[in-house]
Amino acid sequence: MSLPARKLIDLAWRKPPVSAVCPFIPKDLQGLLPGLPEGAITEISGVRSSGRTTLLQAGLAAATAAGELCALIDGSDAFDPSSATTAGVRLERLLWVQCHHDVQDTLKAADLILHGGGFRLVVLDLCDLPLIELQRVPVAWWHRLRLSIENTSGVLLVASTTPVLRQAAAVQVELSGPQAHWPGTLLNSVDLSVRLRKPVQSATAAATLRARAI
Amino acid sequence: MFACLQLQRGPIDALLALADTFSPHLERCDERTILIPAYGLERLIGTHTDIAEAILKRAGELEIEISLAIAGHPDTALLAAHNIEGITIIDAGREVEILGPLPLEILPTTLDVLDTLQRWGAETLADFAALPPLGVIERLGDEGGRLQALIEGRGTRPLRIARPPEDYTAQVHLDEPLANSEPLLFIISGMVHDIVKRLASHGLAVSHFLGMLTPHHEIRIAFPVPVQEPMIILKQIQLDLDVHKPKHAITTVAVELQPTPPRTTQHGLFTPSAPEPAQLQTLLARLRALTGHDSVGSPELLNTHRPDAWRLRQNVLFEAGRVTANAANTAVRLSFRCFRPPLTARVTITPQHRPARVEARSVKGVVVALAGPWRTTGEWWAETEWARDEWDVGLDDGALYRLYREHRTNDWFVEGVYD
């Protein structure tokens, strides 16, 4: 795995990342983050049940409802089409690639899709992949993904247990401390705590999102 | 000039053989009628009368009876052959004189037009041809002008040539058996380029590729959209050969390309952008080569209540997108992640038969909140039968899981996590 050879002059004259954003996030979070930046990587991290998949599927639902083609690279084959349909994802506009817990294949599939182009939202699901293997991925690979999507209108959304993309991500969102509501004998809803890690803001950059379970 | 041959008695194959004797180009008007161009025959045979006699002589040899009409407009010749028995030769300018006595009902038009013409008092084609052309067009539109031109033999049209089905196949016997895919691809490349060139010259594209590599290897590729680029076809073949390598050295290569009309699309300013279908197909083939054939596609839910019932579809992504709803204002739903396969779990049960503690690979904790059981069963008549009790549980580490107990084996599993 190596960074594609580029001339220094190309990097020096590279256009700055586009500042446009896509409104592919829930309305309650738009005060915290106006949208997902185009031509850049947004990383979502959090522990189990913190709401990572909920945010991913909300993004896919918004993008597919707008008629866009989306791709999901599923590192651990965890995507549930039934749950996604309930969340509003139009499955006929979603390309699902199952990578069978193989980190190398997951990254190669993401690279192929980003270089192929044409997908507005590409979701890279790294949750449940071995953390040690993810941390061993060379930084050059994450930058390769960043360069693939830069200066395009595409959005790359990455979900993982802990932040792994480091400087390659333009936006980092951290989810923590889900609060489940069990009125009576039903799992009714879960309050997700969302915090913006990057870009750093002076004010308290946090919000709460309620996800309905029924 | 055009000659129209209508079969009166005899087999249709003999009529085709008769037409083929005089011209390779023919238009099949109906089951018993054929149009052929006669303008090349004048230098070869002679006058129109000579041509008609030659055709009748050949018809006699083939033991069939025909009506023959020769005229400057193919439809005029067709009209004459349908309605006048024997030989009819209509020289330029004599169309109305010859066709004029025929009744109006023989005109190939709608009943409304015929009714209108009869109400005007026209009974024969000559009566209709005598009407002022501008007035006819004003009242009947283009149809009126077309019918008058047909009777008067004005204008012309190209024949709709009936082509025999083309054979888009090729076969090569190799001097030496080939075991490597690279030289094999080189040979297939030449064959594919030739066939695609022929297809493109006929205004066609490729929908399927079938390669038979002797011995015992077959390549089948179905293209979701018609393809006219040989390189796209070859890339698919290369990826297929990479995944399914021939087990034996190849001695014969045979390829067949199935033709189809090319793809026509109308792009819109507000249509969301999507990958080019040809590029998308190459991308899908690469992804399948990387992760496996059954791992790439668009998911589709099956029409059943069985848990985790879905299938992957390959070609649905090639449809252009359209805005269907504004999802930004809809409520956020808690999503679910599956463990595939479900994790076998050891569950401690309380005296009230409720889960109290769960232990499985990567899942461990004390149950602090739960909902259930939800009993589901189904498809008892098939191998896909299921019967289980489901529980939603919250563990002490804050994670929310879905457990289930199978009725048949009484085993516990963690199906997935709410995330």
Q: Are residues B254 and B305 in the same domain?
A: yes
Res A13: pLDDT? 58
Same domain for B305 and B345, yes or no, is: no
Does ipTM exceed 0.85? yes
Give helix then strand counts, H and E, for chain A: 6, 10
A 10 A CB-CB count for B81 gives 25
B314 CB-contact burial (10 Å; exposed 0-12 / middle 13-18 / buried 19+): middle
Extract the tokens encoding A34: 């106006």
Give the chain A residue whose CA is nearest to the CA of B317.
A93
Same domain, B310 and B347: no
In chain A, where are the structural domains located? 32-174
Interface test with A, best of B302, B308, B334 (most A CBs within 10 A): B334
Indicate whether B300 and B344 sit together in one domain. no
Query: Which candidate from A61, A100, A185 shows the least CB-CB separation from B371?
Result: A185
Q: Are residues B308 and B348 in the same domain?
A: no
Higher pLDDT, B87 or A6: B87
A16 vs B258 pLDDT, higher one:
B258
- Host H or E run for residue A122: strand A121-125
Of B152, B179, B202, the residue that ends a domain is B152
Residue type, B373: P
pLDDT interval class at B310 (50, 70, 90) = very high
Which chain B residues are within 8 Å of A100, Cβ to Cβ? 291-292, 295
* B30 lies in the same domain as B117: yes
Hey, of A33, A47, A53, A121, which one would you mutate to test binding to chain B, going by the most B CBs within 10 A of its CB?
A53
Q: How far is A165 from chain B (nearest CA, A)?
A: 21
pLDDT-based confidence at residue B48 (cuts at 50, 70, 90):
confident
How many CB atoms lie under 10 A from the CB of residue B387? 14
Q: Which domain holds residue B81?
A: 2-152
Q: Which residues of B touch A48 (CB under 8 A)?
A: 399, 417, 419
Q: In this model, does residue B359 exceed pLDDT 70? A: yes
Q: For residue B328, tell me if it sits in a domain.
A: no
Instruction: Give the integer Cα–Cα distance in Å for A24 and A70.
Output: 12
Q: Which residue has the higher pLDDT, B154 or A49?
A: A49
User: Residue B325 pLDDT > 60, yes or no?
Assistant: no
How confident is the model over B130-171, as pLDDT tens digits? 999 899 898 888 888 888 888 888 877 888 887 777 889 999
Confidence of residue B404 (pLDDT cuts 50, 70, 90): very high
Q: Which of A47-51, B161-165, B223-227 has the lowest mean pLDDT?
A: B161-165
pLDDT of residue B106: 86
Q: What is the pLDDT of residue B311?
A: 93
Do B32 and B110 lie in one domain? The reply is yes
pLDDT at A33 over 90: no
Separation of alpha carbons B322 and A68, rounded Å:
8
CATH number at residue B7: 3.30.70.270
Q: How confident is the model at residue A5 (pLDDT cuts 50, 70, 90)?
A: low
Say if the Cβ atoms of A80 and B336 lie within 8 Å.
Answer: yes
User: What is residue A10's predicted lDDT score, i.e. its pLDDT?
Assistant: 64
Q: Are residues B147 and B203 in the same domain?
A: no
Contact criterion met (CB < 8 Å) for B290 and A112:
yes
pLDDT at A26 over 90: no
Classify burial at B175, counting beta carbons within 10 Å of its beta carbon; exposed 0-12, middle 13-18, buried 19 or more.
exposed
Of B322, B331, B400, which is closest to A187 when you measure between CB atoms? B400
Dihedrals phi, psi of A16, to nearest 5 degrees: -65, 150
One domain, residues B192 and B302: yes
Highest average pLDDT, of B141-145, B281-285, B343-347, comes from: B343-347
In a domain, B158, yes or no: no
Q: Would you call A91 and B300 a contact, using CB atoms and an 8 Å cutoff?
A: yes
Q: Say whether A116 and B279 touch across the interface (CB within 8 A).
A: yes
Do the domain assignments include residue B372? Answer: yes
Whether residue A93 and residue B290 make contact (CB cut-off 8 A), yes or no, is: no
CB A78 within 8 A of CB A207: no
Of A1-5, A192-196, B320-324, which gets the smallest average pLDDT?
Answer: A1-5
- Tell me the average pLDDT of chain A: 87
- A-chain residues within 8 Å CB-CB of B291? 97-100, 102, 105, 109
Check CB contact under 8 Å for A212 and B331.
yes
Last residue of a domain, one of B101, B120, B152: B152
**Cα–Cα distance, B313 to B198 (Å, whole number):** 32
Going by their DSSP bridges, the two strands A121-125 and A70-74 should be labelled as parallel
Is there a contact between A26 and B332 if contact means CB atoms under 8 Å apart? yes
Q: Are B127 and B104 in contact (CB under 8 A)?
A: yes
Query: What's the Rg (C-alpha) of chain B?
Result: 36
Mean of pLDDT values over A165-181? 88
Number of domains chain B contains = 3
- CATH number, residue B185: 3.30.1490.100
Residue B97's pLDDT band (cuts 50, 70, 90): confident
Residues in A closer than 8 angstroms to B367, CB to CB, are: none
Q: Does B44 map to a domain?
A: yes
Q: Which residues of chain B does A66 touch, with a Cβ-Cβ cutoff of 8 Å?
A: 272, 321, 323, 327
Contacts of A189 in chain B (CB under 8 A): 334
The answer to the question of residue B176 being in a domain is yes
Phi, psi torsion values for A79, nearest 5 degrees? -65, 135
User: What is the percentage of chain B residues whose pLDDT exceeds 90?
Assistant: 32
Q: Do B321 and A93 touch (CB under 8 A)?
A: yes
Look up the pTM and report it. Answer: 0.71
The region that residue B225 occupies, defined by phi over 0 for left and psi between -120 and 50 for alpha, beta otherwise, is beta
Bridge pairing between strands A40-46 and A171-181:
parallel
User: For residue B342, what pLDDT is reported?
Assistant: 94
B39 shares a domain with B125: yes
More confident residue, A124 or B150: A124
Interface test with B, best of A28, A72, A83 (most B CBs within 10 A): A83
Please report whether residue B122 resides in a domain: yes
Check whether B401 has a pLDDT greater than 90: yes
- Could you give the CA distance from residue A39 to residue A62 in angstroms, rounded to a whole number? 18
The per-residue pLDDT for B150 is 84
For residues B298-311, give the mean pLDDT.
Answer: 92
C-alpha closest to that of A93 among A114, A115, A119: A119
Query: CB atoms < 10 A from the CB of A68, how many?
Result: 25
- The answer on B340 and B248 residing in a single domain is no
Q: Which CATH number fits domain A32-174: 1.10.760.10, 3.40.50.300, 3.40.50.11540, 3.40.50.12280?
A: 3.40.50.300
- C-alpha distances out from residue B189 to A205, B229, B233, Å: 59, 12, 9
Which pLDDT band holds residue A158 (cuts at 50, 70, 90)?
A: very high
pLDDT of residue A207: 83
> Looking at the domain assignment, is residue B159 inside a domain?
no
**pLDDT at B321 (0 to 100):** 59
Number of neighbours of residue B401 by Cβ within 10 angstroms: 27
Note whether residue B326 is domain-resident.
no
Cα B391–Cα B393–Cα B398 angle in degrees, nearest 5: 165
pLDDT range class, residue B376, cuts 50, 70, 90: very high
